[in-house]
Amino acid sequence: MDVINLVETFSEFKEFKNIDRETLMKIIEDIFRHMLAKRYGSDENFDIIVNIDKGDLEIWRNREIVEDGAVEDENMEIALSEAIKIEPDFEVGEEVSEELKLQDFGRREILSIRQNLISKIQEYEKDNVYNKYREKIGEIITGEVYQVWKKEILVLDDENIELILPKSEQIPSDYYRKGDTIRAVVLKVDMKNNTPVIILSRTSPVFLERLFESEVPEVYDGLITIKNIVRVPGERAKISVESYDDRIDPVGACVGMKGSRIHGIVRELKNENIDVINFTSNPTLYIQRALSPAKITSINIDESESKAEVYMKPDQVSLAIGKGGYNIKLAGKLTGYEIDVYRDTDMDSEDVDLLEFSDEIDQWIIDELKAIGCDTAKSVIELDSEELVKRTDLELETIKEVLKILKAEFE
């Protein structure tokens, strides 16, 4: 293996690895200096010239010329009789530079150099990837799906760096195939077995926050501050915002004209429902806003235990709880209060409990109505038939018959 072939091997790394020219030259020089120091005891009197572009590598040893028989260190000094073989005009006290050929080192040393180079470049590459992505934690990156496995997805960025999106960090309705483009936030970067492991997430609240920054200029510029974000990925999210500029409506700015700004975020999150509310330091108002779209009658707050008892009309209870209980669960996380919802018992004295109609209305129908928060006759009558059909599993004809029976009570 001659010098040209070895340096061509070096230059191949320049094409395939994320290493700049100066760094690669420094790595090559360090490896050769280590070899020279090991062979000659010192590398201080050697000049190493590396030219990656041309594929050149030169090693020059500089030695001082001394009288014959006065050589004490063969690495640092050369006898006059040996020096004049190189150049007849040399004299004692001058310095002679002699080029060393790589072939002179032997095959074993050349192979050792190559192995060290590969090891150093891989080590540098890993450190470079680790440090690069450590700085990107919390940022959104776009990559291409390279491999889909049962528990995770392998993603490649634009520099072919491998990233991992675990199943636990995917939105439940996410579905990807090889070649698909994917957006996610860098969640964490670890070193395992001296290899960087970069974990992505699409379920982190930070992902939603970065999406708002990219879609809403006022958030990116700091005119609107995101105070808190809570999510049930793929189902529902609540985000509280505020602005110190009275001229800016933070909720309106985040939603956009006819929802133009938030629609892109909702699509990215697989139609996740996003409630944007105005932040306030008033806990009563904050809880009231967090439980939207439900309307509240009254609230009792226990500050010492961070608990809140919320009272509302029966027809609002199901709205407060929400599908799967997500609305009340997220409202509690957003506000920091444990929220308990109660039906407002201060009802009209003329109202009648649905159980009083059990001789005229089947029990399973009463149960259906109670499940949506309608405990009394008037709470059912206040809703029109279409709304009742939408909220329950009852047929329209059944609803009409129930309304007829209940209205007759008050006529």
Residues 175 and 166 sit within 8 Å (Cβ to Cβ): no
- This prediction has a pTM of 0.66
What per-residue confidence (pLDDT) applies to 238?
A: 96
Residue 61 pLDDT grade (very low, low, confident, very high; cuts 50, 70, 90): confident
Residue boundaries of the structural domains of the chain:
3-131, 137-201, 223-343, 354-410
Residues 143 and 157 sit within 8 Å (Cβ to Cβ): yes
What per-residue confidence (pLDDT) applies to 127?
A: 87
What per-residue confidence (pLDDT) applies to 411?
A: 66
Closest by alpha carbon to 84, among 68, 71, 99?
68
Percent of the chain at pLDDT > 90 equals 42
DSSP string for residues in 125-156: HHHHHHHHHHTTTT-EEEEEEEEE-SSEEEEE
CA distance 277 to 275: 6
For residue 4, pLDDT beyond 50:
no
Q: Report the b/e string of 153-191 with b at 16+ CB within 10 A.
A: bbbebeeebbbbbeeebbbeebeeeeeeebebbbbebee
The residues near 111 (Cβ < 8 Å, ≥ 6 apart) are: none
DSSP string for residues in 213-262: HHH-HHHHTTSEEEEEEEEETTTEEEEEEEES-TT--HHHHHH-GGGHHH
Higher pLDDT, 118 or 307: 307
Percent of the chain at pLDDT > 70 equals 91
- For 1-6, what is the mean pLDDT? 47
Cα-Cα-Cα-Cα dihedral sign, residues 229, 232, 233, 236? negative
Higher pLDDT, 16 or 343: 343
For residue 2, pLDDT beyond 50:
no
The CA-CA-CA angle for residues 71, 73, 77, to 5°, reads: 60
Cα 403 → chain centroid: 52
Q: In terms of CATH architecture, what is 223-343?
A: 2-Layer Sandwich (3.30)
Q: At CB < 8 A and 24+ separation, what contacts does 382-387 make?
A: 382/315, 383/315
Residue 285 pLDDT grade (very low, low, confident, very high; cuts 50, 70, 90): very high
Cβ neighbour number for residue 110 with a 10 Å cutoff: 18
Residues 144 and 181 sit within 8 Å (Cβ to Cβ): yes
What per-residue confidence (pLDDT) applies to 155?
A: 97
CA distance 306 to 332: 10
Beta bridge partners of 340: 309
Residues 78 and 64 sit within 8 Å (Cβ to Cβ): yes
Strand 46-51 and strand 56-66: pairing? antiparallel
For residue 54, pLDDT beyond 70:
no
CA distance 102 to 48: 12
User: Domain 137-201 falls in which CATH fold?
Assistant: OB fold (Dihydrolipoamide Acetyltransferase, E2P) (2.40.50)
For residue 345, pLDDT beyond 70:
no
On average, the pLDDT of the chain sits at: 86
Phi, psi of 278 (to 5 degrees): -75, 130
For residue 23, pLDDT beyond 80:
no
Q: Cis peptide before 293, with omega less than 30 degrees from 0?
A: yes
Q: What is the pLDDT of residues 127-156, one digit of tens each?
A: 889 999 999 999 999 999 999 999 999 999
What per-residue confidence (pLDDT) applies to 6?
A: 54
Q: What is the pLDDT of residues 86-113, one digit of tens each?
A: 888 888 888 888 888 777 777 777 777 7
DSSP string for residues in 57-90: EEEEEEEEEE-TT--S-TTTEEEHHHHHHH-TT-
What per-residue confidence (pLDDT) applies to 55?
A: 61
Cα 275 → chain centroid: 22
Q: Could you give the dihedral angle defined by the CA atoms of residues 207, 209, 215 and 219, in that order, rounded to the nearest 10 degrees? A: -160
User: Domain 3-131 falls in which CATH fold?
Assistant: N Utilization Substance Protein A; Chain:P; domain 4 (3.30.1480)
What per-residue confidence (pLDDT) applies to 1?
A: 40
Residue 10 pLDDT grade (very low, low, confident, very high; cuts 50, 70, 90): low
What per-residue confidence (pLDDT) applies to 190?
A: 93
Q: What is the pLDDT of residues 186-195, one digit of tens each?
A: 999 999 988 9
Q: What is the pLDDT of residues 159-213, one digit of tens each?
A: 889 999 999 999 999 999 999 999 999 999 999 988 999 999 999 999 999 999 9
Q: What is the pLDDT of residues 232-267, one digit of tens each?
A: 999 999 999 999 888 999 999 999 998 899 999 999
What per-residue confidence (pLDDT) applies to 334?
A: 95
Amino acid found at 92: V
